[in-house]
Chains A and B, each alone.
Chain A
Amino acid sequence: MNLKKSRNFGESSMSLDGIGKQDAGDTKRKRKVAEITQALNATPVDVATLRRMAISEGGLMSHEIRRKVWPRLLNVPDESIPEKLDEVDRENNKDYNQVLLDVQRSLRRFPPGMPDEQRMGLQEELIDIILRVLQKNPQLHYYQGYHDIVVTFLLVLGERLATALVEKLSTHHLRDFMDPTMDNTKHILNYLMPIIERVNPEVYDFMQQAEVGTIFALSWLITWFGHVLSDFRHVVRLYDFFLACHPLMPIYFAAVIVLYREEEVLDCECDMAMMHHLLSQIPQDLPYETLISRAGDLFVQFPPSELAKGATRERAQQTAASTFTDFDLASAQQQPETVLRRRQREQKQQQKQHGSTLNPQSGTVSVIRPAARRLVRLAVMGITVALGAAALAVVNSALEWAPKLDLLFP
């Protein structure tokens, strides 16, 4: 793979713990680039390795690599994308006015210092990509925030590739957000509290008491954090992660952010307004790599099927293993909260019996607090995260739905 420098906006680098580790970091980085190159050159392309690379520390490292790997993660090979883009009929598009308003106001999404002329050219391209995808897929509806996702693809990939990838993303990962109403989006937000409850019931109870709701996380979810993070390097790092994972991963990541801010939440006044305010102001210095690892970890511990499915184990066994189905299930039925409350009671009883075997101090996942001891495997997972195995497990779960993806992505 040719990794020459070209249009690079906010190029990311691998984040490492200390300056002294720079050499080690370089070696690590080189090894990663070699592994990615090998996976890309394999026949067929080794998508599993690419997913693992996108999830593991540092993600895909550069836009040059992203341009090669993102299309593979979405199963849109470059050669399948037509050279010529469809014409856009701006005037006859029902969403044109809203798109225009939002894109015109999206100045902050462009790298600071970019000449106005260049930015304005990109804004025109942004409008065209959005309208092109919408006119080709009349079942999709524009929402404010969609432009924050599309701009990320545009800045990394350029107009042609971005159009193809955004279209695939919109008909899959973002599909529920693009319904005529936001009912399904609301439903997906309903996954947030059950995850928090499982990891830290104290935080959960406090938030419930404050009646804070989940709208503070709405823009996180529907823009994949593109709307709320000011550093573009963080945004693309998260996109590496989300593109490689299950479509519900952003909600796990949202939960991880809330849990990471546990102390602030518990110190906050138990009041809807104050808590909404606190939570919606996302800290800009989050330890992204740690949080990504935790989100992957939580996904493995509490897969969507477990959050959503019925209480009885028998029923669970009948459920198809594909987690991609979870995504469909999510928009169809059930009340996760009720289920989880019952499970929580069950687990508390189990803990009373087996509590002494838990060692919350072991492992690296600080979300495991004595009060939150839920499952013995929590502690086990803590150790595996340190080894990077959680990332692997997430890949494996992604692979579970990969065959299904192949059906869905013809």
Chain B
Amino acid sequence: MANEAHGRGEGAGLASNSLELSTSLERSVQTRIFKIIVIGDSNVGKTCLTFRFTGGSFPDKTEATIGVDFREKAVEIEGERIKVQVWDTAGQERFRKSMVEHYYRNVHAVVFVYDVTKMVSFENLKTWIQECNGHRVSASVPRVLVGNKCDLVDQIQVPSNMALKFADAHNMLLFETSAKDPKESQNVDSIFMCLACRLKAQKSLIYWNVEREDGKVRLNQEPDPKTNCPC
């Protein structure tokens, strides 16, 4: 994560220092950023999911998240290098209102997480959706639903078909996964990769370097012609 950040800094410096850069070279150092926010009840495994995705492993001692944590991963989709920024949020209700607000701004996707072994965390999704809408997240922003902890097979309280119905009703993709089970780690990856694919296909994403170069926000207006993503 950390060295990725440095790498990007150098790229930015290069681009802004040499005015003579050809357009093609300029394009090659540009990195798009996808900003994803992860929300859901306390202890459903938001931190573990983001760790699994950005770091590859399941952390053995996660603590309560206080406020908002940030993690980042560079991925490559169809030859394009993309930074996926994941904002991991606190589950306790009191943090939602005044604290997390700032981080809903300009999100490209929202990941709702519930715990398949806790019905109440599934029932509370309604409030999370309201919360999200309350922060004026546009309807066009893709949302996915993640049922976590499915390695605990004998404790499952939320049946898949119920979750699927809910996901359909709210126009979300559903993933059932386990951040803990190493066999499921690919599945965790596919959640974020799938989102990244969808986002890649969208046009209005900021080219980070361009933004930095002249201090203005410019949008990439070219729609991506090919979308051969897995989802």
Task: Report how far A111 CA is from B64 CA in the complex, Å.
Answer: 18
Tell whether A181 is near chain B: CB-to-CB under 8 Å.
Answer: yes
Q: Are B68 and A215 in contact (CB under 8 A)?
A: yes
Q: Are B5 and A269 in contact (CB under 8 A)?
A: yes
Instruction: Select B66's contact among A98, A141, A145, beta carbons within 8 Å.
Output: A145
Q: Are A101 and B72 in contact (CB under 8 A)?
A: no
CB neighbours of B43 from chain A (8 A)? 101, 105
Task: Report how far A102 CA is from B94 CA in the complex, Å.
Answer: 15
Tell whether A363 is near chain B: CB-to-CB under 8 Å.
Answer: no
Interface size on B, residues (CB 8 A): 32
Q: Are B70 and A101 in contact (CB under 8 A)?
A: no
Q: Are A215 and B102 in contact (CB under 8 A)?
A: yes
Contacts A269-B5, A277-B5 given: A223-B72 contact, CB under 8 Å? no
Task: Report how far A147 CA is from B92 CA in the complex, Å.
Answer: 13
Instruction: Select B85's contact among A182, A186, A269, A273, beta carbons within 8 Å.
Output: A273
Instruction: Select B98's contact among A143, A183, A276, beta carbons within 8 Å.
Output: A183
Task: Report how far A219 CA is from B68 CA in the complex, Å.
Answer: 9
Q: List A197-239 residues whose CB lies under 8 Å from chain B.
A: 213, 215-216, 218-219, 222-223, 227
Instruction: Select A182's contact among B12, B68, B98, beta carbons within 8 Å.
Output: B98
Q: Which of A141, A185, A215 has the most CB of B within 10 A?
A: A215
Q: Are A108 and B61 in contact (CB under 8 A)?
A: yes
Instruction: Select B62's contact among A105, A141, A181, A182, beta carbons within 8 Å.
Output: A105
Task: Report how far A119 CA is from B94 CA in the complex, Å.
Answer: 29
Task: Report how far A402 CA is from B70 CA in the complex, Å.
Answer: 41
Contacts A141-B94, A273-B35 given: A213-B66 contact, CB under 8 Å? no
Contacts A101-B64, A105-B64, A106-B63 given: A280-B69 contact, CB under 8 Å? yes
Q: Which of A144, A181, A213, A216 has the most CB of B within 10 A?
A: A144
Tell whether A34 is near chain B: CB-to-CB under 8 Å.
Answer: no
Contacts A101-B64, A215-B102, A218-B99 given: A277-B94 contact, CB under 8 Å? no
Q: Are B42 and A277 in contact (CB under 8 A)?
A: no
Q: Are B63 and A223 in contact (CB under 8 A)?
A: no
Tell whether A107 is near chain B: CB-to-CB under 8 Å.
Answer: yes
Q: Are A219 and B67 in contact (CB under 8 A)?
A: yes
Can you report 29 A-B residue pairs in the complex whose CB atoms are below 8 A from each other? A101-B42, A101-B64, A102-B63, A105-B43, A105-B63, A107-B61, A108-B63, A143-B94, A144-B65, A144-B91, A144-B95, A182-B94, A182-B98, A183-B98, A186-B98, A215-B67, A215-B102, A215-B103, A218-B67, A227-B63, A269-B5, A269-B212, A273-B35, A273-B70, A274-B5, A276-B68, A277-B1, A277-B72, A280-B69
Residues of chain B touching chain A, judged by Cβ–Cβ distance below 8 Å, are 1, 5, 8-9, 12, 33, 35, 42-43, 61-70, 72, 85, 90-92, 94-95, 97-99, 102-103, 212
7 more CB-based (< 8 A) A-B contacts, given A101-B64, A182-B98, A269-B5: A105-B63, A143-B92, A144-B95, A180-B94, A181-B94, A186-B98, A280-B69
